[in-house]
Amino acid sequence: VQDFYRDLKDHLLARLEERGFTVADRGGGHRELGEYSFHQRSCLVIHKELAYWHEVFRINWTSYDLLRSQDSVNPKNHGDIMLLSPRFHDNPSEHRYTYARVIRIFHVNVRLDESAMSGFERMDVLFVRLFRLDKSAPGGFNHKRLHRVEFVPADDEEACGERMAARRDSPC
């Protein structure tokens, strides 16, 4: 996988930035969320440069009747997931969900130099391959059938964007 380490650092920096941790860019100038300089990437320290692989990802959640429940994702037999699409909030005419297949589950311990983070913090990551809607087959409630999906081709712009789409910030 080309540029995995850089993409991982960008993904982790974006998650930390969403939580209020930032690293000043010495290059100056305006940048968008998710675009990071070499200096910013170098300030993100991955403890011992290790990623710890896991076989199962467990998610705790509260059901509609306020009972606690747990789901698990296992790339070997239950690897397909769906998430609320970030594009749907900006444009309600977009499809509501993003679909993906989990390839690997891992966590890294990270900290930011030059920030208020006192120690290393565990961050869980799902490495995924994205699906897209198959536009040739109608789906949804109006058509009384599920949407059909297909893998996003590797050379497509969408495939390069967010390979680490699913995440949680605290262990179950």
Using one digit for the tens of pLDDT, what is the confidence trace for 97-156? 889 999 999 999 999 987 777 789 999 999 998 998 888 988 888 889 998 999 988 777
Is residue 3's pLDDT more than 60?
Answer: yes
Name residue, tokens 């009972």. Answer: 67
Is residue 28's pLDDT more than 80?
Answer: no
Question: Higher confidence at residue 167 or residue 99?
Answer: 99
96 Rama class: left (phi>0) / alpha (psi -120 to 50) / beta:
alpha
Task: Choose among 54, 40, 53, 48: nearest CA to 12.
Answer: 40
Interatomic CA distance for residues 76 and 128, integer angstroms: 13
Within a 10 A sphere around the Cβ of 58, how many other Cβ atoms?
A: 13
| pLDDT, tens only, 53-107 | 999 999 898 988 999 999 999 999 978 998 888 777 788 778 888 899 999 999 9
Is residue 162's pLDDT more than 70?
Answer: no
What integer pLDDT is reported at residue 159 of this predicted model? 60
Interatomic CA distance for residues 31 and 36, integer angstroms: 8
- Please give the biggest Cα pair distance in the chain: 54
Q: Across the chain, how many H-helices and E-strands are there?
A: 4, 9
pTM strictly above 0.95: no
Interatomic CA distance for residues 111 and 114, integer angstroms: 10
